[in-house]
Amino acid sequence: MTDSPTFFEVFPFSLNRQGEELCGDQVKILRTADRTIVVLSDGLGSGVKANILARLTTEIIVTMIRANAPLEEVMETVVGTLPSCKVRKIAYATFIIIEIQHRTGDFKMISFDSPPVFLLKQGRLATLKTLTDSVNGKQLTIAEGQLERGDFLAAASDGVLYAGMGAASNFGWGWKEIGGHLERLWATEAHIAERLVRGVMRKTESLYAGNVGDDATMVGILARHANRLMIFTGPPKDRSRDERCVERLMQFEGRRIVCGGTTSNIVAEYLGQIIETDLGTLREDVPPVGYLPELDLMTEGILTLARTLQLLRECHGNPNLLPVDRNGAVLLARELLRADSIFILAGEKVNAIYQNPLLPQSVSIRRSVLDQIVKILEDCHKAVRIEWV
């Protein structure tokens, strides 16, 4: 078995300034086939104005990077676009850009008027060597490095560092204190980007003593093994391709799921095994799941997929908001949200039963349901590929 690829898990979390509905910090994440780009911008002030400034900054950066503009050109455009406040003599928005190459883990960080990033190498705070460059008369801080599995990289807005400032004998907890807190979290918490970021932000909120004085954001990136998932759903249009599809499923290195009665029978026949059905998972709107030893989950097809789509919409990408129930749709939704990369092998053969006009239109076309699921997963920053056979 070959080693699974490294995945760069990204999790952002923000605290709004007390009394503000909108956050003046913005995080935007862009994943392509070969790289992950994370942008954090802090708009001047707070509220609507700061939110617009930060959002504009992240949109410009990500749009240009998506168009494969060189980073140097991106910097010139953003720095040239952002004016400075004539009263406070500071930029209207600051930003940090982190670009990670998936194949090597090499990263580049470009910072404009932002706090230094935090890098944990195997749980210990490390210092990045930086250099400075000037673009349109404004100074940028640049650093490069490599993220290996078990490394954690985080960027924060100054609202995190200044938490507690002004309290008696407390002038903000500062970069070193936050780094030390991250080390302690690493030693005690599960190594998940969300746990580490939330741990810092809980402490930040407590230092503000319930009155958050500035927008505060941290975005963390954890390098770890990728959680890979493959779904085989729907029989191929050409029956001669059945065996090859099952072989691809069995050779897949990751979690394996089959959706569909006919598809399940194809797999069972290939393996020479009998499907066991768990009637305890039967619900009014979701058929029961089945079992084969080589699979991690086996469900019915279109009805379960349609209900899964509904659950994904309702939980907004948060697996903690899924119903506490053990049925095929909940189990499938949870698998999808836990996965980092998802490959769907979808058969194009039409099942005549789903053309019955008495059935809801939403379950009449497998392609439509799958396309909607893929869109939601991509919005959750999953790497999703679907192949029709």
Tell me the pLDDT tens digit for each residue of 1-46.
Answer: 445 678 999 999 999 999 999 999 999 999 888 899 999 999 988 8
Q: Average pLDDT over the chain, rounded to whole?
A: 89
- The residue extents of the domains of the chain are 6-225, 228-388
C-beta contacts of 315-318 below 8 A and 24+ residues apart: 317/376, 317/379, 317/380
Kindly indicate the confidence band of residue 161, based on its pLDDT and cuts at 50, 70 and 90: very high
Sheet hosting strand 118-121, strand order edge to edge: 6-15, 216-225, 152-156, 118-121, 124-126
Q: How far is CA 285 from CA 88, 282, 288, in A?
A: 60, 8, 10
pLDDT of residue 300: 95
H-helix or E-strand spanning residue 152: strand 152-156
The fraction of the chain above a pLDDT of 90, given in percent, is 70
Look up the pTM and report it. 0.81
Kindly indicate the confidence band of residue 361, based on its pLDDT and cuts at 50, 70 and 90: very low
CA distance 246 to 238: 14
CA distance 67 to 178: 35
Tell me the per-residue pLDDT of 141-160, one tens digit each, with 9 for 90 and over.
999 999 999 999 999 999 99
| Inter-residue contact 37 to 58 (CB < 8 Å) | no
For 27, the token pair is 């995080």
CA distance 21 to 30: 25
CA distance 20 to 47: 6
Which of 205, 223, 18, 218 has its CA nearest to residue 101? 223
CA distance 142 to 165: 28
Q: Residue 217 above 60 pLDDT?
A: yes
Query: What is the 3 state secondary structure string of 20-60?
Result: CCCCCEEEEEEECCCEEEEEEEEECCCHHHHHHHHHHHHHH
pLDDT of residue 352: 58
Tell me the per-residue pLDDT of 188-202, one tens digit each, with 9 for 90 and over.
988 899 999 999 999
Helices (H), the chain: 47-66, 71-81, 158-161, 174-188, 193-207, 242-251, 261-271, 302-315, 328-338, 366-379
Kindly indicate the confidence band of residue 123, based on its pLDDT and cuts at 50, 70 and 90: very high
Chain-centroid distance of CA 366 in Å reads: 26
298-307 CB burial, b ≥16 within 10 A, e <16: bbbbbbbbbb
| Inter-residue contact 216 to 159 (CB < 8 Å) | yes
pLDDT of residue 4: 64
∠ at Cα 347 (344, 350), nearest 5°?
140
Q: Residue 228 above 90 pLDDT?
A: yes
- Classify 6-225 by CATH class: alpha beta
Tell me the per-residue pLDDT of 313-329, one tens digit each, with 9 for 90 and over.
999 989 989 999 999 99
